[in-house]
Amino acid sequence: MTVPARILPPKALARYMERHRLLDETSGTSTDRFLTTLVRRALDFVPSRAAVLLLDDPALKEEDRSRNELTAVVVAGTAGTEMLGQKVRPVDGIAGFVYARGERTSVNEVGGARVFSREVDSLLVEPVDSVLAVPVVVESHVCGSLVLLNRREPGGFGARDDRLMELFGDTLSLALQNLLDERRAREVARRDSLTSLYNDRYFHKKLQQEIDRLAAAREGDLALLFLDLDHLKSVNDEHGHLAGSQVLREVAFVLQRCLAQTVSLPCRYGGDEFTVILLETDLAAAVAVSERIREAVAAWTFLPMSTGPGEPGLCLKGVITISIGVATYRRHCTPGKTPPEQKNEILKMADAALYAAKLKGKNCVVVASTQSAGSAVVLKS
């Protein structure tokens, strides 16, 4: 009999699989099939009633694992669908303890102990008597835990189960690493070598795919942000291009932090220009995200560390700012036009809004006008 297994939707799952920025939902082996198969096999390897795979969020991960948060990304067996997406802190229970310590743990008399947390444990469909959990490791970094609940045979988990689960944990880590290595090879052609953001070639491909999808649907939206750094030339002139290149890397990092809670595609468009595709985002939400990015860049201290031997850190704050132009599919694309024409429209609209932001004094967010591609309305400054 095939053990039922459930997994987060692909777009929700993708953020937990972005180890070293390797994965994209459009490439290679099906991640959901890969992970559900592994979790099912864990239940066969050490016969148990249920299994839960939890992963941390690499975009928000801190070096001190006890400060991170785990998310249930795959559940199998008697663990209900309600468990999917639940958050667990390392201090809350056995699953988090295994992640924080990076060590295998088995408990055969759970008693009043928490497996996940008080709130998450209440979602389990049957009482937990025994637990066996192993850390999930990728490139020597602990990134989650795999938890088995209630051994099928009486007596709980024994020493043999511990050894088998240790072997399976090693196999899981190796298989996950192989999947990520496969993605790494595919990603090289899509990434900008300086910032590791997606490049302009992949940006245009992805934007067209998303517009094709929206053109065939009655619902949904996307926002396009055009972003341009203010005053980067002065940094290049005064401190050299190595310093300017490091500023671009740090801006890419700030972008990713600001976009961590969105479904988005940040790209380096060229030079000191960036783009962001925000999926399922209307104009108001896009403006809010843009303001968050603008404020974060303005508040960031750039170049705190040396950029080369004998070069002191510059700690530039208040020097680099960013101007942003915003357009959305539903607001700025003409219904009835072909998807390629609509793509051209939204590109022109966002670019015109960015140009208006520069003319208005920089360090502001501008929304494109709905009247023409050559006019824009200043929203924030």
Same domain? 206 vs 185: no
Q: Does a structural domain hold residue 92? A: yes
Regarding beta strands 48-56 and 70-77, do their DSSP bridges make them parallel or antiparallel, or are they unpaired?
antiparallel
Would you state the pLDDT for residue 377? Answer: 52
Q: Rounded distance, CA 121 to CA 259, Å? A: 31
Same domain? 140 vs 217: no
Is the model's pLDDT at 253 over the cut of 60? yes
Q: Rounded distance, CA 298 to CA 321, Å? A: 5
Would you state the pLDDT for residue 169? Answer: 86
Instruction: Among 124, 158, 189, identify where a domain stops.
Output: 189
Q: Does a structural domain hold residue 40? A: yes
Mean pLDDT is lowest, of 18-27, 52-61, 184-193, for: 18-27
Instruction: Report the percentage of the chain scoring pLDDT > 90.
Output: 66
| Cα separation of the two ends of the chain | 62
Same domain? 100 vs 228: no
* Residue range 240-262: mean pLDDT, rounded: 94
Residue 194 DSSP class: T
Same domain? 284 vs 173: no
Q: Rounded distance, CA 122 to CA 7, Å? A: 19
Would you state the pLDDT for residue 24? Answer: 40
Position 321, amino acid: T
Same domain? 270 vs 303: yes
CA distances from 298 to 230, 234, 290, 293, 377 (A): 10, 16, 12, 9, 22
Contact 297, 303 (CB under 8 A): no
Q: Rounded distance, CA 281 to CA 263, Å? A: 9
Confidence band, pLDDT 50/70/90 cuts, at residue 154: confident
Q: Does a structural domain hold residue 326? A: yes
Domain hosting 204: range is 200-367
Position 264, amino acid: S
Is the model's pLDDT at 285 over the cut of 70? yes
Same domain? 50 vs 155: yes
More confident residue, 74 or 23: 74
Strand, coil or helix: what is 53? strand
* Residue range 241-268: mean pLDDT, rounded: 95
Global confidence as pTM:
0.57
Would you state the pLDDT for residue 26? Answer: 37
Residue 191 DSSP class: B
Q: Does a structural domain hold residue 269? A: yes
Same domain? 106 vs 228: no
Model pLDDT for residues 108-130, shown as the tens digit of each residue:
999 889 999 999 999 999 999 99
Contact 327, 368 (CB under 8 A): yes
Is the model's pLDDT at 309 over the cut of 80? no
Q: Does a structural domain hold residue 377? A: no
Q: Which of 9, 44, 21 is nearest to 255 (CA)?
A: 21
Is the model's pLDDT at 320 over the cut of 50? yes
Q: How many domains does the chain have?
A: 2
For CA atoms 9, 15, 20, 25, the dihedral sign is positive
Q: How many CA atoms lie within 13 A of 100 on its CB side?
A: 16
Mean pLDDT is lowest, of 42-51, 258-267, 270-279, 371-380, for: 371-380
Contact 291, 363 (CB under 8 A): no
Strand, coil or helix: what is 186? helix
